Chain A
């Protein structure tokens, strides 16, 4: 299996622009997680999907952030409009039956 796939790997954008991050989970996994990692705050859960349905979005910072999972093999995390404080590494992870999580390589987002 190719593992969790994320794109792009790096994104540099200007403040106010829309950013879309993409994730393809491991085939057969029914849970998908979006995380954000910074030096200050560590790894924070943004949103959790189970069987394509958002179950816990309590970590989504504000209305500028939205996430979708239209099918079992694809998810997006969108930031609109982006701000410099959104600069971080964003990880997607998937799991089956929710114990061990498999992380993607991450997207490093820089908002100038």
Chain B
């Protein structure tokens, strides 16, 4: 079955820098990947979906890439702000219209 691997260590960066988070999948290349944001005590919130045939997708300060050779998606936040501090989850379809989620990477942006 598909496994989604995200760096379990928190990423600490300074405000204004670009944050880059990694999502690796282990088996077949999924038709798409999704990225969600989760704040403490809240449910995940959908951010972006990138399809297998899309190399890159942007939304405001967010950029996602999909590299089927490396079996990897990168999630970038440019000009990061303290309000971007949260846990970011990567998800892959797993059949029956359901998703497999990674455990997420916590991002901490310091002023």
Contact = CB atoms under 8 A, between A and B. Distances in A.
B103 A100 contact: no
A98 B44 CA distance: 16
Q: Interface residues of B: mostly helix, strand, loop or mixed?
A: strand
A33 B102 contact: no
A4 B44 CA distance: 12
B69 interface: no
A80 B88 CA distance: 33
Contacts of B107: none
Interface of B: 32, 34, 41-46, 49, 89, 94-104
The interface size bin for chain A is 20 to 34
Given A55-B96, A56-B96, A100-B34, A43 B101 contact: yes
Q: Interface residues of A: mostly helix, strand, loop or mixed?
A: strand
B49 A106 contact: no
B98 A56 contact: yes
A25 interface: no
Nearest to A31: B97
A77 B79 CA distance: 42
A42 B43 contact: no
A84 to B, nearest CB: 22
